[in-house]
Amino acid sequence: MNFLSLAFLAFFIASFVIYWNLPQRLRVGFLILASLFYYGFYSPAFLAHFVLVILINFLIAQKLAAGRSRPLVIAAVSLNILHLAFFKYFNSAIALLLPPGTANPETLKVVMPLAISFYTFQFISFQVDTYRGQVEKPEAARFALYMLFFPHLISGPILRSSDFYRAVGNPVASREMQTRGLYLICLGLVKKLFIADVLGYLINSVYKSPGDYGSTDALLAILGYSAQIYCDFSGFIDLARGMAKLFGYDMPNNFRSPYFSTSFSELWTRWHITLSVFIREYIYFALGGNRVSQPRQYFNLMVAMVLSGIWHGETINFLIWGALHGIYLTLEKLVKLGKTPANRYTWALRNLWVITGWSFAFVFFRAPDLATALAVISQVFVLKSAALTVWLVLLLIAATWLVQYLEHRRENLLQLVLPRAAWVLPVMLLVIYFLISRIQIPSEAFIYVQF
């Protein structure tokens, strides 16, 4: 069920009403059942597979809590990585390895289970945290909801034991928390429907046929996609966090105005924060982090970022995307780029460096193959009259920066909204509904659902 579908709206409202009318002792069990239904709605086969993986990881975590065995945690992490690698890369591998004419690769394809990339990282972090003694003996119901909780299940945020596990069974029932949840839902809908989807509608044609467009269109498509993916993904996270708050649970923020960054090291503390933390703590630090020689630090950065790219997808495009970020971070270390710009002119130049490098790297993320990515970039140097609606794309890109500024000032805005929530939020939802009914742009699937 897509978060934006009527079926999901009915499911969510029913779940919310039933949940808060149940005794406290039954609420965790109900949320588990609701989450099982939500995931199983996509595919009963995926659900059976996911439940089996949850059970295996739960049994391993219990053993780790009892004995904290290093070989066992290595086996647990390896098992989860191999499980992910099989589903994510089997189809590409079989197409390469099968001799021509021996079999049709299409008949041997496996279907990747929904959200496998996200829940694999969550399993790994839980096993490592248990091994480190940060989790007491796991409890079955708590662990199940930690993995299954439907608002975050499909596209994150990636939860750690300290983020959510310990809170399971102890929801916070307060009007302020639910008001904050509704505010986040409104914000997520605006980002997704009125910025991300409209941008996608305008720029998708450039990625489909880059040769038909010139420099202005190519630049708008490149900058437009970085704005689109931010509003799409952060919009999803806002919806997920908002729904969690309505159930009394808090989930970590995954974005912190990333496009105001002045270095890539800063940007990765503001973009997809839960993934960045995972990469830093479970990959970069495991390789030695900054506690090694400088050449080894650069190697560690490259490995961590390339693995981040490969996690997103098996094609050469994602590998290049990850490698580019490794190069950006390494270059900043080589020139000893300071954390704080000296003045506003330096801030502007450094921010321009980040936005340009980030946006051009995202061409490889967005394009379906390497040839298309290179074609889009090459069109930047082809002079043609603009075919896109330039003013509208620029307006939506500007709106992306405005949204981030408002997010930075979120607490100030909430202090205005909270005392007036009884009428402000219903009016906001009515305005959003009216705009949805008037804007005839097809809604696109959330981008990160595919991962």
**Catalytic positions:** 312
| CA–CA separation, 18 and 317 (whole Å) | 45
- Helix ranges (H only) for 190-315 are 197-208, 215-246, 264-267, 273-279, 294-312
Where b means 16+ CB within 10 Å and e means fewer, 60-77 reads bbbebeeeeeeebbeebb
Contact 176, 61 (CB under 8 A): no
- Non-local CB neighbours of 237 within 8 Å, separated by 6+ positions: 155, 156, 157, 188, 253, 254, 255
SS3 for 385? coil
The rounded distance, in Å, linking the Cα atoms of 438 and 195 is 15
Q: Which tokens is 302 given? A: 């490259």
- By C-alpha distance, which of 332, 314, 199, 344 is closest to 267? 332
Q: What separation in angstroms does the CA of 73 have from each of 65, 131, 308, 382, 428?
A: 10, 7, 21, 54, 48
Of the candidates 75, 180, 53, which has an alpha carbon nearest to the alpha carbon of residue 123? 53
